Amino acid sequence: MRTRIFQITAIIVAAAAATSHATELMVTVENLQPPGGLFFTPTWVGFHDGTFDPFDAGGTASDAIEAIAEGGDTAPLSASFAGHGVDGTIAPGTPFGPSGSAFGGTASAMFTVDPASNGYISFASMIIPSNDAFFGNDDPMAYKLFDMNGNFAGPLTITINGSDIWDAGSEVNNKMGGAAFSALGGDSVDDSGMIAMHSGLDEFIGTETANGEMISSAFGADTAIARITVTQVPEPGTLALASIGGLALVGLGRRRR
């Protein structure tokens, strides 16, 4: 009897070990702006080993960051991430809109990651309307997802406030100077500045986006812009196997009595 119990337990442990390298995570992105607030573009997220560092405060924006900050294009950043881990772009089918807008304000996506090699998360998105405002983490090890044993350390909640908005320094800030997704139009002017905290977007108050949404507020340092939440999704197969194994052990225990 003890041998049978040991065999079943060994099977359960072996099966759990075989699947422990793959963890399912759900990432949810939300726009926290009030009605008339700012929008932001589909959000890129990447899971890596802590060495992928797409930008640094005080540095020059790479082509990939410039593409995100000036037009919300995540493709160059995703291309530069190749070989570093698992990534994707999260979007509600449109830009993330503030409360009360005609655009979706929340979207989620699932990712399968390896705790041993995908233990950190990075993200990036453009604030609109703007010339080159964006949010993202300049420290690749800022958000650790797993403990030293590979167990998920979350759920993880990241709140992006006004003090977390970056100016890419790649385009002159001018509401009449070709700001992306603005109805004002104009021609953009390249800049050779450095990445720094953004001074604000008050100049866009009272203007419309390209889709006719009126901007009636911008942000201060403590203004909530966005929230990113990472949660673990239980693996049904693993849970089912554990349940079957548990029932088998209960059955054997009853026989023994």
Task: Give per-residue pLDDT as tens, 82-121.
Answer: 999 999 999 988 889 998 888 889 999 999 999 999 999 9
Q: What is the mean pLDDT of the chain?
A: 87
- Indicate whether 140 pLDDT > 80: yes
Confidence at 250, pLDDT banded by 50, 70, 90: very low
Q: What is the pLDDT, as a whole number, of residue 234?
A: 85
Q: Encoding tokens for residue 229?
A: 């939440």
Q: What is the pLDDT, as a whole number, of residue 251?
A: 40
Q: What is the pLDDT, as a whole number, of residue 241?
A: 45
Give me the residues paired with residue 26 across strands: 110, 231
Q: What is the pLDDT, as a whole number, of residue 201?
A: 97
Please tell me what DSSP assigns to residue 229.
Answer: E
Lowest mean pLDDT among 10-19, 137-146, 164-173, 180-189: 10-19
Cα–Cα distance, 119 to 139 (Å, whole number): 14
Domain boundaries, the chain: 1-22+235-257, 23-234
- Indicate whether 132 pLDDT > 60: yes
Cα–Cα distance, 61 to 56 (Å, whole number): 8
Please, what CATH class does the domain formed by 23-234 belong to?
mainly beta
Which residue do the tokens 């410039």 mark? 66
Cα–Cα distance, 233 to 23 (Å, whole number): 8
Average the pLDDT over 31-40 and give the result: 96
pTM across the whole model? 0.84
Q: What is the pLDDT, as a whole number, of residue 235?
A: 56
- Indicate whether 162 pLDDT > 70: yes
Confidence at 20, pLDDT banded by 50, 70, 90: low
Q: What is the pLDDT, as a whole number, of residue 15?
A: 44
Which residue do the tokens 């998360």 mark? 121
> What is the tens place of the pLDDT at every residue in 175-213?
888 898 898 887 888 898 999 999 999 999 999 998 899
